[in-house]
Amino acid sequence: MQLFLDTANIVEIEKAASWGVIRGVTTNPSLVSREGVGDFTSLLQRICSLVDGPISAEVLAEESDAMVQEALALAAVNMEQIVIKLPLTAEALQAMHILKGKGVRTNATLVFSAPQAMLAAAAGASFVSPFVGRLDDIGHNGIATLGEIAEIFSLHGIETKIIAASIRHPQHVVEAAKAGAHIATVPLRVLQQMLLHPLTTSGIIQFQQDWAKLK
Ligand code: G3P
C-alpha cells in the first residue's frame, strides 16, 4: 500500500518528501483554504515539483460541463500528475466519464459507501476515496466500508484504486492496508505518529549511553 500526504502545506510536503515515503499528495478546498493561497495553479505547480506522483486537485463547480472545464484547466498544470477530485454526485459521474475520454484521471471524493464507490468506478474514476474517519465520527465503521469496497473491486477485477482518506491515526493506516486499500492519504501528524515508538526512543538513548562507556 502506498502513502500519499493529505495536505496543501508546502513545508509539510517538503518534510514528508524528504523522508522518501510519500508517492502522491491529496488536497481539498478546506486544506487549500487553510493555507490562504490565492493562486491555486502556482500551488499545484510547486507541489508537482516536490512530489513525483499523483496530485489530487478538487473542482468546485457543481454542474458537469463546468466541472469538466474547471478540471481541464487544473489538469493543464501537469497532465502527468494532476488528478481531478470530484465530490460524488450525478453531475460528477458524468464529468468523470467525459474526463476519462479526454485522458484526465479523476478521484471520486466524499465517498461513504460501497454503492457510491461502485458508481464512481463504473463512470471511469481512476481513484475512489472512502472517508474512513468521518464515517467513524458518526458511529459507523469506516474500515468495514473500505474493506467492502476492496472486496468488491478485487472480486470483479475493477482497476480503480482505493485511497483510504480521512485518516485520523496510525491504526487507521494499518487497518486500511489490511482491508485492501491501495493507498492511504495521511496528514503529516499521522505520518509522524507512525514513526514514533517509545521503545525506539529509549533504545537509542540506551545504545548511546552504553557506547559512551567504552570511551
Ligand atoms: O482529503 C480528504 C480527507 O482526507 C479529509 O479528511 O480529516 O477532513 O475528514 P478529514
Q: Is any ligand 1 atom within 6 A of the Cβ of residue 166?
A: yes
The protein residue with its alpha carbon nearest to ligand 1, atom 10, reads: 166
Q: Which residues are catalytic?
A: 85
Distance CA 50, CA 61 (A): 27
State residue 79's pLDDT score: 95
Residue 129: per-residue pLDDT: 98
Instruction: Kindly state if the Cβ of 165 falls inside 6 Å of ligand 1.
Output: yes
Q: What is the pLDDT, as a whole number, of residue 186?
A: 98
For residue 81, what pLDDT is reported? 98
Any atom of ligand 1 within 6 Å of the Cβ of 4: no
Beta strand 82-87 pairing with 127-130 = unpaired
Atom of ligand 1 nearest to the CA of 129: 2
Residue whose CA lies nearest to ligand 1 atom number 3? 166
**Cα(123) to centroid of ligand 1, in Å?**
23
Distance CA 7, CA 95 (A): 24
Q: What are the residue ranges in the chain where pLDDT is below 50?
A: none
29 lines ligand 1 (CB under 6 A): no
Cα(2)–Cα(177) distance, integer angstroms: 9
Helix axes 142-155, 114-123, angle to 10 degrees: 40
Residue-level pLDDT at 38: 77
The rounded percent of the chain whose pLDDT value lies above 70 is 100
Angstrom distance (rounded) from CA 149 to CA 144: 9
Q: In the prediction, which pLDDT does 8 show?
A: 97
> For residues 160 and 121, is the Cβ–Cβ distance under 8 A?
yes
Identify the pLDDT of residue 94: 98
